[in-house]
Structures are given as structure tokens and as C-alpha cells.
């Protein structure tokens, strides 16, 4: 299929055998973002300037979404960063600021799907397979990019099928201190309709980064050289297609859905895209991506067999990255029903011990869904009972919407208090039957 041009094959293989370079991005919506960027460039990058053995950091400027030195690639592996005495301060700084939410460690290619979605602060967004959370964190940042609007009307629902990974999402998102996200634990191929006062939610943007064989992560996961076999892709294609199909159903007219994998295999990529276009013929269209990524070198999707040149594939030797595949859909039909069919509703009730795959394609048994305590929003009596004292002590402005505060257990209201946006309060209140 000529996925890799013949004259690039040797460079492609050589890149796969090299460790992946360290990449990170600075959280763009913090008030001290520019101070963090200044520290990085003027203090922590100094060893690179004076070194004759280490290349200078490379600014990731493949998109206009990351102006002003927000994303960087270091030409050294994680092991090299850990072991280098002259980079000890940089290593400690990256770790510390990651914990504080000022920096996120994320692969360069992983940054691309949220960028092509062109997220605006008012968008309703769904991340169907959110763990390990780096892309969702990027989405949250996009929601908050308007400094004049600290609590945007938009939000992101981050879903993952695995309960333990959902708790990892909680830890990752807490760093960002945003009231505009919620986490859902459900099979992405059978996501339920979420209710609002205006009816079921249709999402403006959907990230469909599906479980895959992961052969594009060979540089990061060298064990895959031993584990990979052709059957991985074939066994995953059906679940990938089901997840993407449900995503199209939940997409609002005019909305965008990005389908992405860290696989190079056309069975998981173009074959799924082609099937979606056939299933939803006249209801969705494939969008051009390259004009959104002017600084990125890509190769088009298969055009000889499937005419999918508007998809993009990233190869590891082009920009010293992992391999990745991205396709962008726009929904153009207004009549497509988001409701689950009877067959799909029945499949929601099947045993929670079904087989699923993790990011590397490894098979495991999923634990049963965990029932969570309900969220209980503050009522007037709660506000008078203790919030008034708290707000006076900390000097919280009287305009603060205390009715958007909530707890998990009514009898223990003062121990852990959560704050969500008005939009998410509506969703949580009207969908209590889901947890």
C-alpha cells in the first residue's frame, strides 16, 4: 500500500529504533503562563545553550494554536533527562510544575487531535476514550482560552470504560482547577443520551481517540516489537467502528468529530473511516486537516484504493515523533437520530465482564461498573449553615454562585466541596439515574 515511500524506508526503520524525545506544553490559560515560559527559556534552557553535546530545544510550532513558545520538544529521551546532571534542575522543574498543572507532559502527535477540532469556549465536547487524559486536559485549556470569561459556558465530558483509569482522570484534571469537566465511566460504543432541559445533548465537538493496536508507539513501548501480531488490528476494528458510530450519532449538525489512533495500520484507520462514510452517506463529510496544521509534515490517507487523501498519517522519521493517524468529520445531516436502537439498548445491559483492550492492544477483563454516591447541590440551608462562614473567612465575593457547589454525601457536606459550571450543574441534576 506504500504507506511509507520507498526512498524513506531506511530512515523510517531507523527512527523506530530510537527512543522518543521528551515533549511538553505549558498550560495556556493561567495568569502566570508567561512567567512560566520566561523561566523555561531564560533559566532552565541555559544548559542547552552552553552544551556542545545536546541539541537546543525545538519549539513545536506546527499549529497557530500554539503561538508564543507553549509547546517544546527536547532532543533527548526520558532516561537521558533523568540521568543528566546538568539537566537536573530542568527535570525537577518539569516534575514540580506538572504536579501544579502549569505544564503537561504530552507526545507531540497526541497534541494534534484537539487542535484540529477548533474548540471554542461555548462548545459542548465529548471525549469518548479519555484516558490517560493528556488530550482532554488540552481540551479544557482550549475552553478557558478567553481570559475575560473565567467560567465558560462550554464543557467537556471525559468518558472511559475502565473505572481505575477514570480515577486517573480525576487526578489529572484536578491540576487544572476547572469547573468545566465531568468524568463518565461507560462503554463508549453504548454511551447513553444525556438529558438537559432542552432535550438530549448533541455535542459540538467529539474526540474519538479509540483503543488500537498501538504500533505507532513502538518508540515509547519497545516491548511491542515482541508482542505485535497482525491479529491485533483485525480484532479491534469492530469496537473501533462501534465507538466511532456512536460518536457520529451524538454529534450535533455542523459539529466536528476527530477519529484518531496511534496505529499505522489501514485496517484500524482508513478502513474504519471508509465504513463510516458508507454508513452515514450524505450525513457526514470528511474535512481537510492540513490547512489547520501549516507547520506539520504529513502524508495523505490512502487515495489509490479508498480516496481518503483528506486523512493524515504522521510517520516517526518526519518530525522525530511517534506515528499517528487523524481523520476529521463534519456532520451535515439534521435528521440523524442520536437515540440508541433497541438492539443497542439491550447490549448496554450485557455483562460488564466483556473483553476490552487497553491502549497497547493488550486484552484484559474489565471490572464491573462501580456505583457512585450521588452529587448533592447546596440548598439555601447549606449556604446559611456553613458556606457563609467560609466565604467570609476567605473573602469570597458575594456574587459567587454558591448554588453550583455540591458534595457527595448530604450528612458530610462540609468535608469535600466541589464547584461546577452552570451548564454542568444542569447535566448532573438531570442525569442522576446514570450513577
Q: Is 403 marked within a binding site? A: no
Q: Which domain holds residue 57?
A: 21-105
Q: Is the pLDDT of residue 128 over 90?
A: yes
- Whether 332 and 421 map to the same domain: the answer is no
Confidence of residue 373 (pLDDT cuts 50, 70, 90): confident
pLDDT in tens, 133-192: 999 999 999 999 887 888 999 999 999 999 999 999 999 999 999 999 999 999 999 999
Whether residue 271 is predicted with pLDDT greater than 50 in this model: the reply is: yes
158 labeled part of a ligand binding site: no
Q: Is 130 labeled as ligand-binding?
A: yes
Q: In which region does residue 186 sit, left (phi positive, over 0), alpha (psi from -120 to 50) or beta (all else)? A: beta
Q: Which of 307, 342, 365 is the last residue of a domain?
A: 365
Out of 180, 212, 262, 311, the active site residue is 262
- Domain shared by 388 and 321, yes or no: no
For position 327, which CATH number holds? 3.40.50.150
pLDDT at 278: 95
Q: How many domains does the chain have?
A: 3
User: Residues 269-275: what's their mean pLDDT?
Assistant: 96
Q: Which of 55, 78, 105 is the last residue of a domain?
A: 105
Res 360 pLDDT > 70: no
> Quick one: pLDDT at residue 165?
94
3-class secondary structure, 70: coil
Q: Taking a C-beta distance cutoff of 8 angstroms, is the pair 277, 286 a contact?
A: yes
Same domain, 270 and 328: yes
Q: Is 135 annotated as a binding residue?
A: yes
The average confidence (pLDDT) of the chain is 86
The whole-number average pLDDT for the span 57-80 is 78
How many whole angstroms from its chain centre is CA 47? 32
* The dihedral formed by the CA atoms of 328, 332, 336 and 338, expressed in degrees to the nearest 10: 50
Buried b vs exposed e over 198-222: b needs ≥16 C-beta within 10 Å? eeebbbbbbbbbbbbbbbbbbbbbe
Asked whether residue 3 is domain-assigned, the answer is no
| Residues 150 and 186 reside in one and the same domain | yes
Q: How large is the average pLDDT for residues 118-123?
A: 95
* Cβ neighbour number for residue 428 with a 10 Å cutoff: 21
Among candidate residues 27, 160, 32, 39, the one with its CA nearest the CA of residue 105: 27
Contacts of residue 199, defined as CB under 8 A and 6 or more positions apart, other chains included, come to: none
Rounded mean pLDDT of 216-236?
A: 89
Q: Is 150 annotated as a binding residue?
A: no
Same domain, 205 and 317: yes
Same domain for 343 and 211: yes
Tell me the pLDDT band of 340, cut-offs 50, 70 and 90: low
Say if residue 212 carries a ligand binding annotation: no
The answer to the question of whether 381 is labelled as a binding residue is: no
Helices (H), 23-73: 33-39, 46-50
Residue 223, marked binder: no
Same domain, residue pair 135 and 174: yes
| Range from 77-86, 88-97, 126-135, 314-323 carrying the lowest mean pLDDT | 77-86
113 is in an annotated binding site: no
Residue 205 to residue 258: CA distance in whole angstroms: 8
Instruction: Reply yes or no on whether 166 is catalytic.
Output: no
Amino acid at each position: 500500500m506504500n504507506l511509507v515511500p520507498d526512498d524513506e524506508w531506511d530512515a523510517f526503520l531507523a527512527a523506530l529504533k530510537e527512543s522518543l524525545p521528551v515533549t511538553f506544553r505549558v498550560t495556556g490559560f493561567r495568569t502566570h503562563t508567561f512567567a512560566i515560559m520566561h523561566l523555561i527559556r531564560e533559566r532552565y534552557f541555559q544548559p542547552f545553550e552552553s552544551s556542545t553535546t545536546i541539541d537546543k530545544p525545538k519549539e513545536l510550532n506546527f499549529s497557530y494554536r500554539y503561538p508564543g513558545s507553549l509547546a517544546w520538544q527536547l532532543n533527548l529521551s526520558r532516561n537521558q533527562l533523568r540521568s543528566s546532571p546538568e539537566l537536573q534542575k530542568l527535570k525537577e522543574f518539569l516534575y514540580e510544575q506538572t504536579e501544579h498543572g502549569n505544564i503537561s507532559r504530552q507526545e507531540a502527535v497526541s497534541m494534534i487531535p484537539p487542535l484540529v477540532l477548533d474548540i471554542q469556549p461555548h462548545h459542548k465536547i465529548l471525549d469518548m476514550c479519555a484516558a490517560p487524559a493528556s488530550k482532554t486536559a488540552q481540551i479544557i485549556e482550549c475552553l478557558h482560552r478567553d481570559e475575560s470569561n473565567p467560567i465558560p459556558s462550554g464543557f467537556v465530558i471525559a468518558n472511559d470504560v475502565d473505572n481505575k483509569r477514570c480515577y486517573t482522570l480525576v487526578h489529572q484534571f484536578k491540576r487544572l482547577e476547572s469547573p468545566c469537566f465531568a468524568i463518565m465511566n461507560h462503554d463508549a460504543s453504548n454511551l447513553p443520551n444525556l438529558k438537559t432541559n432542552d432535550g438530549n445533548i448533541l455535542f459540538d465537538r467529539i474526540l474519538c481517540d479509540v483503543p488500537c493496536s498501538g504500533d505507532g508507539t513502538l518508540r515509547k513501548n519497545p516491548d511491542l516489537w515482541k508482542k505485535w501480531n497482525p491479529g491485533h488490528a483485525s480484532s479491534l476494528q469492530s469496537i473501533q467502528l462501534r465507538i466511532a458510530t456512536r460518536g457520529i450519532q451524538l454529534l450535533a449538525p455542523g459539529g466536528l468529530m476527530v477519529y484518531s489512533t496511534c496505529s499505522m495500520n489501514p485496517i484500524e484507520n482508513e478502513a474504519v473511516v471508509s465504513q463510516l462514510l458508507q454508513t452515514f452517506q450524505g450525513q457526514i463529510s470528511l474535512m481537510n486537516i492540513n490547512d489547520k496544521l501549516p507547520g506539520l509534515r504529513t502524508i495523505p490517507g490512502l487515495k489509490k484504493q479508498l480516496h481518503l487523501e483528506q486523512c493524515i498519517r504522521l510517520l516517526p522519521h518526519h518530525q522525530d515523533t511517534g506515528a499517528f493517524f487523524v481523520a476529521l468529520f463534519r456532520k451535515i445531516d439534521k435528521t440523524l437520530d442520536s437515540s440508541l436502537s433497541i438492539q443497542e439498548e439491550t447490549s448496554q445491559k450485557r455483562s460488564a465482564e466483556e473483553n476490552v483492550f487497553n491502549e497497547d492492544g493488550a486484552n484484559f477483563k474489565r471490572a464491573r461498573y462501580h456505583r457512585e454516591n450521588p452529587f448533592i447541590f447546596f440548598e439555601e440551608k447549606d449556604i446559611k449553615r456553613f458556606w457563609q462562614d467560609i466565604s467570609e473567612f476567605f473573602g469570597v465575593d458575594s456574587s459567587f454562585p454558591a448554588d453550583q457547589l455540591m458534595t457527595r454525601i448530604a450528612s458530610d457536606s462540609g468535608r469535600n466541596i466541589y464547584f461546577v459550571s452552570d451548564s454542568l450543574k444542569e447535566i448532573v441534576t438531570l442525569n442522576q439515574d446514570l450513577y
